[in-house]
Amino acid sequence: MKSLFIFSDDLSRIEFSTDHLFKPVRARNTLDLCERYGLLDGDAAKVIPPSPSTPEQLVLFHDEAYIDTLLRIDSGEFDMEMFGRGLGTEENPVFQHLLDWCLQTTGATLTGMEALDAGEADMAFNPLGGFHHAGRGGAEGFCYVNDVGVAVEMLLARGRRVAVVDLDAHHGNGVQDGFYEDDRVLTISLHESGRTLYPWTGDETQIGEGRGRGFNVNVPLEVKTDDEVYLMAFHEIVPPLLEAFSADIIISEIGADTIISDPLTHLRLTNNGYKEAVTTLGGLARKFLALGAGGYDIFRTSRCWTLAWAGLNGLEPKDEFAGLVGGMMFGPEMEMGSLYDRPLLTKGPDREKAEEEARRVIRSIKETVFPLLGAKG
């Protein structure tokens, strides 16, 4: 298998603001770990730089007026109208070279997509991609430009069947809204319920409309969902739907904010469950494009992405002790010396509630969506 790790050191140095939770340095940390654990050895895996996208490519998904707004910001302009497009907020501050950031990160995703579509690689990973909240006309939730939407639009124009499987803890509302009436795209999102987490959307009853009815699937999960409950929902829903849809390419948000230590979310996965879900998903794909998305415990996110890269390439990390970098590189000191978390399961009423809710959602999806797509199970 040929795989690409798409990386730019310049992009990894960007800061939205000094106290912003989104930290691109996660990409640099992940590459360091992959190198230290021997996960980039050999000829099959390559690290390549991204090629920037163009404003014209962004318009494939976004309103032209919104891209014009980003162009004006890059020229030093700012006015109150821009707040209406989600710009200049605490979540989405404006900064120097904002448009260049958007073009570079989207370009990194398109670099991977193009290599996959041309048969030059089987799997590609862009750790600085997956901005699934951005809408056609504005920024939202740390996301200025929806690179997922741009890549999907390009693939659809070529007649490809595309599945977007979102494992980030936050519902991918921008992607859902963009393709809600389209039967050429299957979108599946496993996320913390919108009752307890931004963007407050992603109910299991949102299954698409018109031609897209049945092609939008949401699996909202209860607070304190652990590895076992998460994987139960994943295996019950994702493989049967992907088999029925038969996508040419799977694009996946592999955000690591499902992890128990994430400061923004309330799920309780360890990176053991995370790795199983991502690796299983990659094994179901003809071509697989992985995008970093969320993850706000910086060091644990880097560990998750390193394990994901290893699993997707069929590798096991070599000499774990060679990777000890600094005091907290791999998380809590009790876990030092291993990339893997210790098993941790939710118990008592919290576990019962999480499992009961997951089973209810599974039943709902199997009753409403499975017959529409001809999925088995």
Catalytic residues: 133
Structure tokens given for 247: 């996508």
What angle, 0 to 180 degrees and rounded to 10, lies between the N-to-C axes of helices 227-245 and 271-283?
10
- Please list, in sequence order, all residues whose beta carbon lies within 8 angstroms of the beta carbon of residue 125, skipping any fewer than 6 positions away: 3, 4, 5, 6, 112, 289, 290, 291, 292, 305, 308, 309, 312
Structure tokens given for 147: 């690179």
Q: Which residues pair with 186 in a beta bridge?
A: 163
- Amino acid in position 277: A
Q: How many CB atoms lie within 10 A of CB 319?
A: 9
The C-alpha atoms of residue 275 and residue 311 are separated, in whole angstroms, by 7
The C-alpha atoms of residue 11 and residue 107 are separated, in whole angstroms, by 12
The string of DSSP codes covering 277-342 is HHHHHHHT-SSEEEE-----SHHHHHHHHHHHHHHHTT---S-GGGG--TTTTTSSGGGTT-SSPP
Cis check for the bond before 199: say yes or no (omega within 30 of 0): yes
The C-alpha atoms of residue 24 and residue 29 are separated, in whole angstroms, by 9
The C-alpha atoms of residue 257 and residue 294 are separated, in whole angstroms, by 6
Structure tokens given for 254: 């592999």
- Cα–Cα separations (whole angstroms), residue 174 to 48, 69, 187, 270, 375: 28, 19, 11, 27, 26
Residue appearing with tokens 């298998």: 1
The string of DSSP codes covering 339-377 is SSPPP----HHHHHHHHHHHHHHHHHHHHHTHHHHT---
The sheet with strand 162-166 has its strands ordered as 45-48, 3-6, 123-126, 288-291, 249-253, 162-166, 185-192, 216-221
